[in-house]
Amino acid sequence: MSQYPYLHMTGGRLRVKLPSIKGDEADCRRLEHILSETAGVTRATANPLTANLLVIFDPAITSHQHVLSSIETAGFANCDNTGKSNLVGGQPAQTTKRLTTVVTNHLMQAAVQAAVERLIAVLI
């Protein structure tokens, strides 16, 4: 559990800092949804500004370890030294983002080139 910059557990309550959700509203909502479907979890609140996650659960139904396991399974716990999640759909996050950028740029260049070629053909 040392992979978390901050982790505090009491009966039925877990607060953990997850740098992978910082600044990402969509990831926060996705994590909240995943945890809300975990048996025994009554509330999950993720804050993209602070990167904190608060989970309230019934300790008679689930445990701190099970909640942490759910976070890990969803790919939000494994952080590299940049604080961003190493996992996005099982792939390294930085590689996935880089690949997305390269593919998007290539497609845009191809579309612009095709448009210019058509325009030149019309003008000639």
The residue type of 58 is D
54 by Cβ neighbours in 10 Å (0-12 / 13-18 / 19+) ranks as: middle
Residue 96 bridge partners (DSSP):
none
Can you tell me the distance from the alpha carbon of 12 to that of 88, in angstroms, rounded to the nearest whole number?
28
Contact 114, 106 (CB under 8 A): no
Give pLDDT tens digits for 94-109: 556 666 666 777 778 8
What is the per-residue pLDDT for 80? 45
Percent of the chain with pLDDT over 70: 77
Contact 45, 54 (CB under 8 A): yes
Q: Provide the whole-model pTM.
A: 0.61
Residue 14 bridge partners (DSSP):
9, 55
